Structure 1
């Protein structure tokens, strides 16, 4: 079990910076550009995830990432960000609920996807 969570601390620190980027962009897109929560959440996720991908490649995982696997990661979590925003729009939930729910989900699911898909070690 310990091996599964190896690297989680640096992933979490980078995740805090990711969250700040995501939330800031989300609220700018939502209020200044009046985009839906779904679109604001998706665009903010894409920008923040690009930052996190680069930082995690440098500091968290010892294996170089595959761009194809990174695109799978982006599609999975990007779809989740769109779904969470869409549900919030549909239910007329406050924007803070959207970013909090997505942030919690993406912390855990993003780490597991990164570990098992994006930065997976090749078997020899």
Structure 2
């Protein structure tokens, strides 16, 4: 297996739990509070990503979670969640399409971001 993909299976399993949290909260925010897709996607992302950040730090990458790492992770993927949600609003896409596009794009982008930037171990 290529070194690039080491840890991807663990990241994916945690990502499934993250996705369940994200999707449920997204649809509750849309239906119960009538929030836009951009706001619903971002708020749902913040809750789900906070869970997966700490679990991935410990189990996937074996590094300590820090405020700096957390803020970098949230800033990068939070921006992606806002953009995808805004596109869903702009193009009047169904909410299911918005969360599906975000979930797939954040899986790959989030893994690469986490592996090479957020949870990167210092060179010895």
CA contact (8 A) 2:29 2:35 kept: yes
Secondary structure in 2 matching 1:120? coil
Q: Write out aligned runs for 1:1-124 (5 A).
A: 2-124=2-124
The TM-score normalised by the length of structure 1 is: 0.95
Kindly tell me the number of residue pairs found equivalent between the two proteins. Answer: 124
Superposed displacement of residue 12, structure 1? 0.4
Partner deviation per Cα, 1:59-92 (whole Å, 9 max, x = no partner): 1112224421321121111011001111110111
The TM-score normalised by the length of structure 2 is: 0.95
Secondary structure in 2 matching 1:44? helix
What is the root-mean-square deviation in Å for CA atoms of aligned residues?
Answer: 1.1
Q: Which runs of 4+ in 1 moved over 3 A?
A: none
Higher helix proportion: 2
